[in-house]
Amino acid sequence: MTAVGTLALQGDFAAHRKRLAALGASAPEVRWPQQLEELDGLVIPGGESTTLLHLMDREPGWWPAVEAFHRRGGGIFGTCAGLILLARRVRHPEQRSLGLLDVDVDRNAYGRQVDSSEGFGRWADGRPLEMVFIRAPRITRVGDGVDVLAWHGDDPVLVAQGNLLAASFHPELTTDDSVHRLFLARLATPLADGASSVA
């Protein structure tokens, strides 16, 4: 059974765990860096990125543990705040990040909490994809080794690079499980940097 933990320090980790378990994965809550050693994949959920950074800094082992997990081929899926933590550069305001994913993002670019919205974007092949945006970051630059897997209007909102997957929106809050299925499929068949697959 594929073990995909969800970082359970803050944010909407419970919805991710429910979705992953429904798809047949082992889905433990991850509260300590040592737990990463037992996982195939990690979800960094939406929430408040500055709060998440503060909580990770309180346990000094988090940053090297996530970086080591990535180096050994562990898959990481970041949604909303998770995308912000994975991004190479964060702006508005600038903020520390892991810098593992070669994209730049602007925080809260889709508006404040009251501007949250539901609707449909599209997979790169044109199929519709349900999306929920809550204080979402906008991807403003995509590196050469990053594949855009889904769009909302003219904005890339789901991207992949090697064993990394990241979304501006909250797929765990929709009725569509295809993004989580895609992540699990990528864990089952590791891809080289820049390679991608579509659900």
The predicted-structure confidence for 175-188, as pLDDT tens digits, reads as follows 999 999 999 999 98
Whether residue 193 is contained in a domain is answered as no
Confidence of residue 112 (pLDDT cuts 50, 70, 90): low
Residues 27-70: pLDDT tens digits? Answer: 999 999 999 999 999 999 998 888 988 899 888 899 999 999 99
Rounded CA gap, 151 and 59, in Å? Answer: 36
Mean pLDDT score of the chain, rounded to an integer?
A: 90
Whether residue 195 is contained in a domain is answered as no
**Residue 19, CA distances (Å) to 54, 168, 188 in order:** 27, 18, 17
Residue type for 54, please? H
Query: Could you list the residue range(s) of the whole structural domain that residue 134 is in?
Result: 4-188
Q: Is the dihedral of CA 165, 133, 91, 82 positive or negative?
A: negative
Whether residue 176 is contained in a domain is answered as yes
**pLDDT for position 30:** 97
Give the strand order in the sheet containing 4-7: 29-30, 4-7, 41-44, 75-79, 164-167, 155-161, 147-152, 117-123, 128-133
Residues of the chain above pLDDT 70, percent: 90
What is the pTM assigned to this prediction?
0.90
Whether residue 112 is contained in a domain is answered as yes
CATH number at residue 177: 3.40.50.880
Q: What does the angle CA 48 – CA 18 – CA 98 come to, to the nearest 5 degrees?
A: 35
| Residue in the block written with tokens 């912000």 | 84
Indicate which residues carry an active-site annotation.
80, 170, 172
**In the chain, how many domains are there?**
1
Say which residues have a Cβ less than 8 Å from residue 108's Cβ, sequence separation at least 6: 92, 135, 136, 137
**Residue 187, CA distances (Å) to 39, 55, 122, 131 in order:** 11, 27, 23, 23
Residues 4-39: pLDDT tens digits? Answer: 999 999 888 999 999 999 999 999 999 999 999 999
Beta-carbon count within 10 A of 154 CB: 5
Whether residue 194 is contained in a domain is answered as no
Kind plus residue range of the DSSP H or E element containing 183? helix 178-188
